[in-house]
Chain A
Amino acid sequence: DAKTTQPPSMDCAEGRAANLPCNHSTISGNEYVYWYRQIHSQGPQYIIHGLKNNETNEMASLIITEDRKSSTLILPHATLRDTAVYYCIVSLGNFNKFYFGSGTKLNVKP
């Protein structure tokens, strides 16, 4: 699996958009980009995933660059409950283990 690079921490004001970057320069053509988050002491929660195209669901949007070497997770209106560690993972998906890395600690402030 390709490994990812994320900033260790980010701050965001409540109500503003949170944009979390991820570099995955060694991603292969059939690997997906997955985003998970982990609120303190809870199990990781699936957010969104994509292959090439941008994706949006009720939680977030995922923007993948055309060369697929980086992506951005966007939380459109961050709330205090979005304070968590966010993990960017690249993986083949099925049959494959996930390498989580250290993630980005997002602090949403009032």
Chain B
Amino acid sequence: DAGVTQSPTHLIKTRGQQVTLRCSPKSGHDTVSWYQQALGQGPQFIFQYYEEEERQRGNFPDRFSGHQFPNYSSELNVNALLLGDSALYLCASSLRYGTGELFFGEGSRLTVL
């Protein structure tokens, strides 16, 4: 049973560019959440997708957007990259009507130069 998979694992961008990160949830899961983890800090919630709609959002600007596809996979897009966007981006999947456990992928490490 494949767990949560994310791609790419590492990438380097320059300020002002745009990036797209991808996530495939654990088999059977229908909800995808995205988290940003800066170095030395705990993960911070970006947003959550269910039934192809954004259901909740954390304190992140509109430069951060996402999408969920009919197969439950998801993308995170970040526009106009800033140096401060350098972080590990984590995708987590869960069951909407389960008991709330999140299953995380290994993350995508983004470096903005």
Residues in chain A within 8 A of chain B (CB atoms):
32, 34, 36, 41-46, 49, 85, 87, 91-103
For chain B, residues 90 to 106, give those with C-beta under 8 angstroms from any C-beta of chain A: 90, 92, 94, 96-106
Residues in chain B within 8 A of chain A (CB atoms):
4, 33, 35, 41-45, 48, 55-56, 58, 88, 90, 92, 94, 96-107
Complex: chain B residue closest to A94, CB-CB:
B100
Complex: chain A residue closest to B55, CB-CB:
A95
- When A and B form their complex, what is the total count of cross-chain residue pairs whose Cβ atoms lie within 8 Å? 62
Residues of B within 8 A of A32 (CB): 99-100
> In the docked arrangement, what's the CA distance between A32 and B100, Å?
9
Interchain CB contact under 8 A, A49 and B106: no
Interchain CB contact under 8 A, B100 and A100: no
New A-B contacts (8) at CB < 8 Å, excluding given A42-B107, A95-B96: A32-B99, A43-B4, A44-B104, A46-B103, A95-B56, A96-B56, A98-B33, A98-B43
